[in-house]
Chain A
Amino acid sequence: MKVLLVDDEADIRTIGRLSLERIGKLETLVAASAREAIVLAKADRPDVILLDVLMPEIDGLATFAALREDPALATIPVVFLTGRASEADALRYLAIGAIGVIAKPFDPMELPAAVHRMFEHWMLRNLGGGSE
């Protein structure tokens, strides 16, 4: 599985990559901004995008909207990564089409498994003939 991690914070990109790539053994791409994320997603299509919500210039929600408007990227599942994971926010993110929400700070030992679970659940629901 190939994951694209998008976060403006360098420390989060460092530990997120270490977590996903070295601990979780997932192929991992990282981007520091929405623009970089879209370029990377087009060039090297990830299976799932892990997208920070609060970013300067173009935030995670606007990035999500841009991904959904691009036919080449619209079907890539997105997990939001947020420090503001109130239940209402999480439900809102799921309602607009995210496949999951992960709260920051995350545990680097648990992050890969959480991403896997969300991706596999989405695969079963959307590609495996699920009933939802």
Chain B
Amino acid sequence: MVDVDPLAELAEVRRAYAARLPEKLAELCAAVEAARAGENQLIEAHGLAHRLAGSAGAYGHPAVSAAVAEIEHALAAALADPAERDGLIAAAITRVGAIGPR
């Protein structure tokens, strides 16, 4: 059995992640738009943003991670403040639409 170089393995998992990143961002975009429908959808969108913010940075996309973290924080604020929810979600929708793989 050939022992694969760990750095080559890291490069390969990062390449595979990069290939899936546009799909992940589209999924986040859809989830944030769906968050206007109610609290359960908002919780779902927040969880998705949290997971993507964590993974994108580890896979070598710090700018995407930082932008998604801002969306995560906006959705957390929307969860905490129902009175401001519509505006915060609208701002998050605008932000998520502007993100692209770097």
Bin the interface of chain A by size.
Answer: 20 to 34
Please report the C-alpha to C-alpha distance between residue A23 and residue B54 in the assembled complex, in whole angstroms: 20
Interface of B is mostly: helix
Q: Does B30 contact A (CB under 8 A)?
A: no
B62 proximity list for chain A (CB < 8 A): 105
Counting residue pairs across A and B whose Cβ atoms lie within 8 Å, the total is 57
Number of B residues near A (Cβ < 8 Å) is 20
- In Å, the complex CA distance between A9 and B57 comes to 13
- What residues of chain B lie closer than 8 Å to A109, measured between beta carbons? 10
**A-side contacts of B54, CB under 8 Å:** 9, 12, 83, 104-105
A11 partner residues in chain B, CB cutoff 8 A? 17, 51, 55, 58-59
List residues of A whose CB falls within 8 A of some B CB.
8-9, 11-12, 14-16, 18-19, 22-23, 54, 56, 83, 104-109
List the interface of chain B (C-beta within 8 A of A): 6-7, 9-10, 13, 17, 47, 50-51, 53-59, 62, 65, 69, 72
